[in-house]
Each structure stands twice: as C-alpha cells, then as structure tokens.
Structure 1
C-alpha cells in the first residue's frame, strides 16, 4: 500500500491526467496512458501499476521510486523530489494564515492527502458509480454516537458485500472531507488495513507512526504533545482503518496487527480525543476480535452499536427501503417503476451486493428494465458465479456445499447444521469455509455456552439453498433436465414455494441450454395449478426479455400444442395484476382453444373492473362476446360469461339493471348440475366469479352467503386444493358476507384460515397480492367489530398501501369505507375527511356512473 508519508499522490494523479488530456480516467484507459508515458519519457510503467496508482486495484506495497520519478517526468518535472518541492511551495505559500502553519493543521493536511487517496481507491473499486451510491443513515448515526461517547474505538462488522467500505467513505466525506464538513477541525486519517499492516508488521506501532507524522524531532510523542498543548489541538484525531480481512492478510499477521491495535486503543485512556474506527468482516470478527469479549475492558473501550447481533457477528442492518429506492433513482430508474416493485423483491435488494448486481444488470443504455422475477435469478446466478465458481478454491467450496446439502437433506431436515459435523476435522477445507463465510454464502450462528461448543451453520439466504439444491439434482443427471430428474424432484419435495423455486432454477437451466424437450416436460408434470402458472409465466417472461419471443416460444410450443394441452387450467386469479398484462397478451397470441382465450380475456376484464377502467372493460367485453358466440364453449350453462360480465358493466356504466338477466342469475340453483363433475369449466368459473361481484354490487350479502355456501356444498372438490386462488377468493367473499350479516365469529375463522395459507406459502407463491389485500380488508372489518381499533387501522392501512400499488380501485373504495367507519368511531375527523376526499377522487377518475353501494361510507 502507499507509504503514509506521501502527501502529494492526489496532486500527482491530477497532473498526470491533465498531461494526458482527460478529467477522469477509466480502467480501460490505463493501457493508453502507459503508452503515452513510454512515448514521452522512454520509460515503461505497466498498466497494472497505473491501475494501482489511480485506485482501481489494491496494492500491498509502497509505490517504487522508479514509478514516482517516471510519472513526475511525464508531468515535466525532473523527478519526484522536484515535483513535491514545487507543489509544497505552491500549497504552503507565504501569505497563508497563522493557522495554516500550526502543527495541528500541518498534520491535518498530511492526513487529508492520504485519506483522499484511500477514498479514491475505494470509490474506484466500487461495483457501481460512486455518485449513484447513497450514505447509510444508520452508519452515520453509529459513528456520530461513537464520536460523542467516551469509547476509544468502534467497528462496522458485516459480511463481504455489505457496503462497509463505502459507508466509511460517505461518513468520512460527511464528517471531515465534504464541502461543509461537520467536524472540519478534526484530523481524520483514513487508511486501508494493508497500509497499516505493511508498517506494523515491520515493527512499527501506531503510536510510533503517529509520532513520526508530527515531525517534532526524536523523542516527541504525538498524543502527549497535544495533550500538554491543548491550545494547539484543533479537535479529535480519528483513525479509520478499512478492511481488516483475514482472507487477504492471513490469520497470523492479522492477530499480530490486532494486538498492536488493541495496545494502541487501550493506551488512549488518557487521550479521549483519539478515536479509532474499523471495518471488518463478520467471519474475521468471530475468529480474532470475539476472543477479547471475555475481558471487562473490552466493552469499556469498544462501541459496537445498537444493532449488534452476537450470534451472526453483524452490527450493520441492511439498506433501508428508501436507500434502495434512492440508489435506483440515481441509476435513472423510473420512479413509477420502482414504486411497483413487490415487497419481497425490495427486501432482497436491501442487500447492497444484490442491489449492485441488479443495477449493473440494468445499467446499459439499451437495456430496459428486467422483470423482477427474472432479475432475481440473474442476480443470484451472478453472485454465485463470482463468489463460488470463479474462486481459486472452488472445488473445496463445492465439497462443503455438497456436504451441507446432504446434512440438511436439501432443506427437508431444517436450515441449520453443526459446524463440526460439516467440516469433520478436514483441515484442507478450512480456508474455503472461511471464504464462504466472508462472502456471505454461509453464515455461522454461535450458540456456544461456557461448557459446550455449539456453532450452527446455514446458507445466508434461502434462495442460495434453492439454487444449490437444483444444481445438485442436475449433477446427479449429467446436467440434463430429464423427465426422470423432474419426477425425482416432484417426489422428493412437497408442494411449497421451495419446490417452485427449485423447478424454476431447473427451468432456467433448460432454457439457457436450449433443452426444448425438457421445457415441455415441466408442463406434463402433475403439479398444482399455481406451480404450473409460475413456470409458464417464467418461460414467457424469459423470451419476452429476449425481444423476439414469438418465434422462440413457437419452437417450444408449436401449433397444436396448447389445443392438446390447454393452459386455461392454471392461468388463475394470481394473474389478476397489472404487471402481468404483458404476459397475458403474449399467451393470448399462443392460445388456440376457446377455453384458453376465454380464461385470459376473463382475467383481463376482471383486472379492468378492479381498476374501474370502463373503456378497457368494454374492449374485453367485445372480445368475450366473440368467444362465447362461437358456440365452442365447454359445458352448457344457463347464462354465458359474456352475459354475466355485461350485467356488471351495464349496471356500473349506466346504473341500469337487466331485470330478466337478474332473475336468471338469482335462480342459479335450478340450473346447477354437478353430477360426476370433477372441476369447473372455464366458463363456469368465470360466471361464478362474476356472480360474487354481482351480489356485492347489489349489496345482497345474504344471497352472497347462500351462493358461496351452496357452491362449496355442491362442489366439495374446491376444498381439496388448499392453494387454489379461486377457492381463497370465494372464502374471502364468504367472510365478507358473514360480516355483513352479523356472524363475526364465522368471518374471523375464515379470515384466519386464508391468512395462514397466504403466510405459509408466502408472497413469492401468491405474487398477485390481490388475495392478500382482500384478506387484510376483511380482517380490518373484523377487528373493528371486535373493537380492536389499533389492529383495525394497521390492517386497513397495510391493505390500502397494496391496493394503491396495484391500482385496485374497487378494493381501495371498500377499504376507505372501512377506514371511514373506524375514523368516525375514534373521532379522527381529519383522517375521516381525507378518506372521504380520496374516495371521491376515485369516483371522479372513472367513467362508471354507478359506484358499488356496498363500498359506500356508513
């Protein structure tokens, strides 16, 4: 690393760039700069050396005099000494103020030169443009609390890729080096651990090094001098050391370095104005620093912060949601697009390294936004490629991961295994294991007690377990997604979001490997409705992203394929989401059977209805009429889907009721025939969904209750498919009917059941979110009736947030009606007025004349 006495490296960089004729140097320009230097001086400075000089790569030694002399000669100076003399005189000109000549100011200038170089190096090594990053508010607050405390040292502890170094850069700029620094009189010495290590391992101590910087002559002590001359001391001395890394430095050297650091920290007891800030990986903290916790003095001197997790050795939380959004906005993501990201996707982007990879994935000028479903798989794949397969120790890492999978039985026996069992005294695995910890592939949780050593290991994230499980099955089947492999996975795992994720990884492998027969094999499996829906959506999304989806999709699903294998049975209510309209339209171009066409058009109509988009409803009605007029619909029904949807449209658009059609709808029992029928036809499902809306629209909750009860009685097979979105929707409307007819206990039982299903299968399973929204609206009404007003408000406001994201105006109206009643009861007049105003805005935004009576405020 650069010698800490080199005060003019930044100036040298600026002069070299001025001579080269550029303001900012990019890594790919170092080769051309090397040639320019050779042409001018006749001396060769390698491209690698230039990358180190400009901070694009880490250097673990001082720059040679040859390099510095050559660069100075390129800038038209005789040598490095003349360069320094020239700029020293320019910097310390005679008219400088008295303060500029003070010893404190002199040291501050030296520290600033070194710190600026360190910060530039970290900025250049950042995986994204530094100007697109954002300060971590927690880290700023952590450092602020530390500086104002009596502690001598603090540390930012987290796995690799957590953003520790950049957090320190932002903090250094905020407190000491920005345009308007908070503590402008402090000395901040920001160095890399390699810089300190290169000196300390040669016999120096931090105290001796600081004494040398003061240049008072032999025997003078930095800390004692300013303690005895307080009038000359401008503020604090803050030493920031970034990158205590056992992987790069070696455990023996690191422990020696830590011992010297510890001596320095503890010797500052009489000098509280000297502060030390470190960044360190969780694995290194556990190996080296954690041992010191047994000493009472440790907590006295070290500030670990409010978020310290002793089990995982982490004291920095993930990025906040707002910090994630700020970074995306800096990358010119459309704010409207960012606002529509799902909660589960945003949670994953809170990990700084995943956010970095996602931003890189979308950073090219010709790259439009990659669907979040696809992006997650690309980000994870890139992450694992960088951290596992591109590592020199990849074979050892794969051995450890395979052993993890065996011990966890691919996750069936839980998420944790015992560290001793995993490594089994295989010393050759220890370095690779430490890298997996450092790179946040694996996480240790120390549950040891005084008399028992107990360290558990898990994958850092569940999706890493999903990925490696899929790769394990592939390795067992010669990297081919065969029918045998798929059946093996199907038999091995129960229906769950985990099984879907494993299948998606296998599907991705088949797509990227152009294994067309394998892609078709997925849709021959006896999977649940939702599972097939997820897989078909992934295929369509992938080829949409490729740009020319139709020819490629046609090669996978040739003409006639979907007539023999209709997809209408698994294109379900989970597709009622505005972000899936593009997928539905692509599928519509592939649909061949009337059932498939009706299923998609019905979903599009319901979506438009939920958004109170009268014009789109009319377009979809016209298309549904053509489908129903063809006479090819499976099953004979007393009313057609077109007639049921038309009844809803005419009532909302014109406030008119077709009495003849109403009579046919209300006498549905006379026309039901469920003998030996195993499942609904597409047409029946569309009609039954429409009837629920009709009874709601007319405010006839008694009839809605009777309808849902009879449907479950006459068609008990609905009950067997726990995760069927249509079943869950019927249950929600049945709960709504129970509430409106006064049976709160029955409504509560149903609401709790739906909530448990949604929680168990997670938002990654039911990614449409309308069921989750509806359940929360119903729960809010139940809490209100039970006088649990705080819970009612929380549930209703959570539902409102999702309804607004999805633009489901019908749900928003229903929810505002609930909130209005709660606000009225609690005499929250301002909030009540605001809710009524927003309800009115929704009504004004639609050309539907009639709003739903059931959703009016009470």
Structure 2
C-alpha cells in the first residue's frame, strides 16, 4: 500500500494518464502502459505494479523509489523528488483563498491518502462504482456515531456484504463529495494493510499523527489542537477498512488491534478524534469480541441498533429500494424490475448476489430476465468463487462433507455442533474460518457461563440443497444414473427441498449433456407441482440457449408426451405472464389434443385476467378448432369454446348468448349421473369459465350453488391440499359466501386458503394470483367486520400484487372493495384516485363492458 507520507500519488496518477493519452485507465490497459513507459524511459515497471499504483489490486507495502522515479521520468521529470518539488511549489502559489493553517495542512495530507484509498476500492468494486448506491442505514449509523460521545464504531458483516463500498459512499457523502456534510473535518481513509505495515514496525497511531503535523520532537497532535482550539477546524476521523485475519494473519491482526485499542481509549480527553472500522464477522468474533466483557469496551465502541450478537453482524442487507436503484443504474428498465418476484428481490438484497446477477445478465434491456435460471447461476458462480477456486478448497470440501453427514443431508435439522464438525482437527481451522468469512457457513454462539455451545449451519438453505445434490453426484461417479435419481427420491420425503435437489441434478445433467439422466428424473412418481417445476426449469434453460427445439426433442422424443401428458404437468400455477413463453414452447411439443387444449385454455385465462381482448380472440379461435375436432368435447353439455365465447362476447359487446346462458344456468343437468373419476381438461376449463361468468354477471348465489355442487360431485379434489385449481374454487366459494352475506363461512374458507398458501409457499413460487384473490376476499371480510385498518392493508397489498401480475380483473375487483372502504371512511381523495385508476384500466382495453358488478 502507498506509504502514508506520499501526498502526490493522485497527482502522479493524473500526470501519467495525461502522458499516456487517456482520461481513465482500465485494467487491460496496464500492459500497454508498461510498454509505453519502457519505450520512453528504458525502465520496466511491471503490469502488476501499475495495477497496484492505479488501485486495481491491493498492495501490502509502500511503492519502491524505483517505481516512483520511473513514473516521474515518464512524465518528463528528473525523478520523484523533482516531481514533488515541482507540484509542491504550485500548491504554494499565493492566493487569497489559501488556508495556510496547520489544520489545513494535515487535511490536505489526509485527502491525498484518502483519495488513493477511495480510488483503489472503487476499482475493485464488482460492478462499476457509479452503478452502486449509498446505503441509508450506513450513513445514518455514521451520523449517529459522529454526533455521539463514542470514540469508535465498526461495520461488522461477512465477506461480500458491501462494507467497503458503504464506507466509500459514506466518505464521499460526509467528507470528499462535491458538497460534503462536514467540510472542516480531517478524514484519513486507509486500508488496514497500510496501518498494519506501519504498526508492526513499531509505530503507534499516536506517533503517526504527531509526525503528520511536523510539530517537532515532543509535541503531541491531539494535545496541540485541544489546547489551540481556535486552530482546530472540526473532527479528525480515521477510517480503517479491511480488518481481515485471513489476509493479514492472526498475530499481525491482534497486534494491530491492541495498538488500535490503546489509541481509542487514549482519546478519552479528545472526543473530536473518531475511529471507524470495517471488519468481517469471523474476525470480530475471534479478535474484537474478546473485549466486549469489559465495560470500557461498550463505553467507547458504538455498535448500532442492528447488532446481532449471535451472528456478529450489525449491517442489514440492502433494502428493496436500494436493490432496485442498483438495477436501474445497470440499465434495467423499471418495467422489467417490477416483474421480479418478492422472493427473488429478497435474495438480491445480499450485495454479493446482486453483483453476480448484474454480471451474469449481460443483456439487461430484454423484456424479462428469468429469475429462476438466474438464481441457480448466481449460486453456482458464488460457490465456484468462494469454494472451488480457493487455495484451501480440499479442506473446505472436507468440512462441507462432514457437515452434510452430521445434518444427514438436512433430514436431521439445519444445525450441528461446532465441536463435532471440527473435532479438534487443527488442519481444518483455516479453511473453516474462510467458509465463515465468505458466508458459506454461519456460526451462532449459544454459549452460557457454564456451557460452551456454538452451532454451525449453512448460510442459506439453497447452499444445503446445492451441496446435497453434489454429494449424491459424487457418490455415483459423476453420472446421473437411474440409481442416483431413485436414491434421492427414496432418501427425501415429498417436499420442496427434494424438488430443489432434483433441480440441481437437472442443471448438472444439462450442463454435462447427460440426456438419459434428465429422462430418468421425469420418469419418477412425482406430484404435479413438482413435475411442473422441473419441466419449467428444463424448458426455460433451453429457451435461454436459443434454438431450443432440437435439444428438447432429444430429451422428450416423439411419443413421450403421449405417454406422459403435458396436462399432468400444467396447473393453475402456470397462469402467470412469466409462463407465456414457456407455454408456447410446450404447445409446440404437445402431441395430444387434450394437452393443446389445456395450454390454450391457460393462455386464454391469462389474456382474460389482463383484459387483453385481442389475445383472447386469438386463443378463442384455436380453442374452437380443438373443440370442433374432438367429438367427446362437442358432446359436452357446454364445451370450453362455448363458455369462453360467452365471456368474450359479454365483455367485448355487452351481449349475452341466451342459449349458452341457459346451458350455464342449468349446469346441474350435466351432473345427473355423476362419475367419481377426476374431471377432464375440458371439464376443468368449463368449471373455471362458469365461475368467471357468475362473477361477471353479479350472481353470487349461483356462484355459491355451483362451487358447492362441484365439491360434492368431485370429492376427490378435496384431498389434494396443494392443488391450485382446488384453492381457486375455494376462493370463489368464499367470495360467493361473502357476497351473499355469510361472513362466517367466507372467513373460515379464506383463512384455510391463506394457511395453505403460507405453508406451501415454495410450491406456489409463481402462483401469486391465488394469493392476490385471497387477500382481496380478506379485505372484503375485514370491511364487513368494520376492521378498516386491516381491510385497507389487505386491499393495498392485493393491489400491489395484482398490478405486478397485470391482472386487471383482480385490480377492478379490489378497487371495488377499496372504493367502499374509502367511501365509508370519507377518504375523498383516495376514493377519487381509485376511480381514476378504474377508468384508466377501462380505457386500456377494448373490452368495453365496464364490469359493473365488481364495483
């Protein structure tokens, strides 16, 4: 690292760039710059050294005089001394605005060093620094600290949490920006290596500060300005970034901490001297936390309101708004970002995952970036960087394998004892510390006075899923065989965890072109939701690759979907705008008329929910051809085409086909001789359409009668708790109870649906339309119970989801509830806004029927 006495490094950098003919240097240009320097001076400065000079790599020592002399000579000066003398004279030119005070002199020295540190950290940022955003919590944390009596504060978090970038933004906000908050403060921003390189040589921070003032022997920096307060401009803030035991070594780090602690405690009489650190959680636990038992530590150190003593973290993850701001800076369109699910945005709140996502998504201007695929790529890249590419990878894998065995691949819980994991094996300690530092593993200290109890777990469940899948692959010779797949199926009960492990196996098979392995997975007896998730992953992966049809044809050869109908894979969970592209791909692979009808009906319902009349008309034409070609379908009391046509004509032209209406209202005749077999694709489409029809016609009693009769005639659907169609029918039944005044029954059903959706939320990763409808009904129930606060919260939450899904029918239904609430509470402004939004929806569709019964 740059020696702290060099005040002209930034000037030297700028002069070298001017001589080289560029405004900003990129890492790949260092090689050409080295050649230019060699050509002009006859001296070699290596590419690596230049990267250190310009902050693209961390340096743990001062620059050599040879390097500085050569760069000065490249800039047409005799040597480094001549360069400094020239620019020192320029800075001393008389000016009425020049501040010649000692405080200003130190401030200038500090700025030179700090600017270099800032440049180094910016250049090491995983994404362009101007794409990052200040973190409001960190700014508030520092502001509270500066205004307090505490002498020191610290940012504690695992690697990749964004500590360094948070300090850079804070330094620019408070001290080095265009309009800094504290313009009179002195801020020294250095890397821990810089401080460490001095302190191990015998220096102390106090002596170093004294040297910066050039007061002469025996004079003290802090005492001088405490005595001469008229010369002191503000605070002196020392920021030290990068306390890391892994990089510095435990002994060196402890020496540095001891000297730092002495300095902090000696500032008791000098409250204007402040220290700010950043440190990894593991290092904090091993070195710093030892002092927390002393009252003095808490008196001097400010840890902030977010301090978690168990995980040693005091910085929260990025807020959702901060994530979105970074995505916007990376040129993602706001419309695209709004499509991301809450679950995916929650994962992107981890700064390192957000960085990897921005790096992986090379075409951010596309209409939609599939978050499911991106998540798996982010995790894979994260593990590759932090585990497999590490010098200690052998020991890391050994620890992870031991943890998997202790957890029984997750079947025996998520935690194990640290003592069992390491078993006093000293060879594993360095690798274990790296796993903690890199946020692969997490320690939770539950120790008490009489008992040592430290638990260890994977930092995230998806890491457990990944390493579990890789464990089975390694056990079976890296070949996704039928035996391997059956082992996984038998080892884990039916659950979202098992599906996630199978997805990792799928990804491995796809990456290694093991087509047989993919086929083995789809031959297993999995539930509909599980098969749907796996099929979706395969189709999405090959869609991203471009020409997907040949690859998919290898996996699913002709005849495959006759034996394994696509209609068994597709549920109401596929009524989602993100699924449209995949459904169209599956349509090209479908072989049976029933499969094609299932897909077309889903596409029609999607277009209907979005009030897209033109797309409804396209799908309706295809549904008509499929129905006309099937005698069984045409023999139905009312077929899907007739039911959907009735909806289309009513919304488009405001007319009702009386013959179809009679059939719909006399639906019971088709159940005269009920069969207890599961209903067909055509029947399901008709049942769904009838619910929409009664809703549109404003006939809740008929809707109630229909749903009650449906569950009576088809009792088998009652036993499949996670079937999205069942839950949708239950929602319509609850809506009917609500509209007919039976609040108790509506509440009982709605509470049951809510409980199912929460319990099996992973199964319904994309099925937000069910959750949206459930919340709309809940808002109506709260309104009828006069619990208006809950009613507004539920309705506004439902509105947010409906707008993200672009389901305008739900938006109108929900606006109807909100409108009644606002009217009752005399919230005229909100009511007016709601009516304007209703009108904007009506104007956006050629379905000119105004859906009056929703309002």
1:834 maps to 2:833: yes
- CA–CA distance in structure 2, aligned partners of residues 98 and 344 of structure 1: 55
Asked whether the 8 Å contact 1:594–1:633 carries over to 2, the reply is no
Is 1:589 matched up with 2:594?
Answer: no
Does the CA-based 8 Å contact 1:344-1:764 persist in structure 2?
no
Q: Deviations over 1:769-823 (max 9, x none)?
A: 1001011111111222222221111111100000011111110111111111222
State the 1:418 CA deviation.
Answer: 1.5
* C-alpha contact 1:595 1:633 (8 A) present in aligned 2: no
**Which ranges of structure 2 fall in alignment gaps of 5 or more residues?**
none
Q: Is the 8 A contact 2:609 2:808 kept in 1?
A: yes
Q: What's the CA shift string for 1:547-583, capped at 9, x where partnerless?
A: 1112222222223322332211221111111121111
Q: 1:763 to 1:579 in 2, by over 3 A?
A: same
Q: CA RMSD in A?
A: 1.6
Comparing 19-28 with 264-273, greater Cα deviation is found at 19-28
2-structure distance, mates of 1:447, 1:820: 51
Contact 1:674 1:715 in 2 (8 A): no
- Residues 1:49 and 2:53 aligned together: no
Question: Contact 2:332–2:365 (CA<8 Å) still a contact in 1?
Answer: no
Q: How does 1:599-638 map to 2 (within 5 A)?
A: 599-631=598-630, 636-638=635-637
- Asked whether the equivalents of residues 634 and 681 of structure 1 are also in contact (C-alpha less than 8 Å), the reply is no
Aligned mates of 2:364, 2:721 — CA distance in 1: 45
* 8 Å contact from structure 1 (residues 635, 681) kept in 2: no
- Partner-residue secondary structure (3-state), 1:340: coil
Report what 1:464 is aligned to: 463
d(CA) in 1 for partners of 2:820, 2:365: 50
Deviation at 1:483, TM superposition (A): 2.0
Matched, 1:325 2:324: yes
1:673 to partner: Cα distance: 6.6
**1:197-256 CA distance string (max 9 Å, x none):** 001111111000101111111111100111111111111100000001011111111111
Q: Which residue of 1 is the match for residue 130 of structure 2?
A: 131
Q: How does 1:70-469 map to 2 (within 5 A)?
A: 70-95=70-95, 97=97, 99=99, 101-363=100-362, 370-469=369-468
Partners of 2:451 and 2:669 lie apart in 1 by 72
Q: Would you say 1:852 and 2:851 are equivalent positions?
A: yes
Match of 1:20 in 2: 20
**Kept after mapping to 1: 8 A contact 2:317/2:349:** yes
Give the drift of 1:162.
Answer: 0.5
Counterpart in 2 of 1:641?
640
SS of residue paired to 1:568: helix
1:765 offset after TM fit, Å?
A: 3.3
Please give the per-residue CA displacement for 1:247-287, whole angstroms capped at 9, x wherever unaligned: 11111111111111011001001101100000001111111
| Secondary structure at 1:176 match in 2 | helix
Task: Tell me the distance in 2 between the aligned counterparts of 1:139 and 1:734.
Answer: 49
In 2, the alpha carbon distance for the partners of 1:350 and 1:370 equals: 17
Q: Which residue in 1 is equivalent to 2:547?
A: 548
The alpha-carbon deviation at position 390 of structure 1 amounts to 0.5
SS of the equivalent of 1:22 reads coil
Per the TM alignment, residue 40 of structure 1 is displaced from its structure 2 partner at its CA by 1.3
How many angstroms apart in 2 are the aligned matches of 1:366 and 1:847?
29
Q: Measure, in 2, the Cα distance between the counterparts of 1:407 and 1:797.
A: 45
Kept in 1, the 8 Å contact 2:407–2:413? The answer is yes
TM superposition shift of 1:849: 2.8
What's the counterpart of residue 498 of structure 1?
Answer: 497
Structure 1 residues not aligned, in runs of 5+: none
Instruction: Tell me the CA shift for residue 825 of structure 1.
Output: 2.1
Q: Secondary structure at the match of 1:277?
A: strand
Alignment of 1:576-725 (within 5 A): 576-631=575-630, 636-672=635-671, 677-725=676-724
> How many equivalent pairs are there?
855
> d(CA) in 2 for partners of 1:263 and 1:247?
23
- Cα deviation per residue 1:378-426 (whole Å; 9 max; x = unaligned)? 0110000000010011111111111221222222222222211211111
Cα distance in 2 for residues equivalent to 1:76 and 1:22: 17
Q: Distance in 2 between matches of 1:657 and 1:635?
A: 21
Give the alignment's TM-score, normalised by structure 2.
0.98
User: Counterparts of 1:406 and 1:108 in 2: how far apart (Å)?
Assistant: 57
Instruction: Name the residue aligned to 1:524.
Output: 523
Distance 1:140 1:526 in 2: 53
Of the structure 1 ranges 295-304 and 825-834, higher mean CA displacement relative to structure 2 is found in 825-834
Cα deviation code 1:92-120 (max 9, x no counterpart): 22336452x11111111110000011111
Q: Confirm or deny: 8 A CA contact 2:331 2:364 kept in the other structure.
A: no
